[in-house]
Amino acid sequence: DAGITQSPRHKVTETGTPVTLRCHQTENHRYMYWYRQDPGHGLRLIHYSYGVKDTDKGEVSDGYSVSRSKTEDFLLTLESATSSQTSVYFCATSEPFPRTDTQYFGPGTRLTVL
């Protein structure tokens, strides 16, 4: 298994508070992704990074920001959490095509915003 960890694994927070989720990889993969998974929607891309300090928005980026200061870490920040951001968040990594053989997923973070 690829070495991808996420922290925390579970978090309960209140509306309006800032939240930061961390993704750490030991595979030296260039690309990293943050997704959210909600019933009926499947996985949706929030933001992705194609290198250190290089990031871009996905389809559901509103209310989220990211940072990648080194290859192994990709942070997702909710500046002011809302109940609509209650979800399961997955981090993933890959190499760019054609070196891509697959995406490797972290174990997920379950976030509840009250």
Partner 1 sequence: KNEVEQSPQNLTAQEGEFITINCSYSVGISALHWLQQHPGGGIVSLFMLSSGKKKHGRLIATINIQEKHSSLHITASHPRDTAVYICAVLGGNQFYFGTGTSLTVIP
Structure tokens at 72: 């192994």
Task: Report how far Cα 83 is from the mean position of its chain's Cα atoms.
Answer: 18
Interaction between residue 99 and partner 1 (CB under 8 A) = no
Nearer Cβ to partner 1, position 80 or 99? Answer: 99
Least Cβ distance, residue 76 to partner 1 (angstroms):
16
| DSSP string of 6-72, one letter each residue | EE-SEEEE-TT--EEEEEEESS--SEEEEEEEETTTEEEEEEEEEETTEEEE-TT-TTEEEEEEETT
Nearer Cβ to partner 1, position 80 or 100? Answer: 100
Find the part of the chain contacting partner 1 (CB under 8 A) among 10-18, 19-27, 68-76, 87-95: 87-95
Nearer Cβ to partner 1, position 15 or 46? Answer: 46
Find the part of the chain contacting partner 1 (CB under 8 A) among 20-28, 34-42, 60-68, 72-80: 34-42
* Interface with partner 1 (CB under 8 A), residue from 11, 22, 43, 73: 43
19-34 core/surface letters (b: 16 or more CB in 10 A; e: else): bebebbbeeebbbbbb
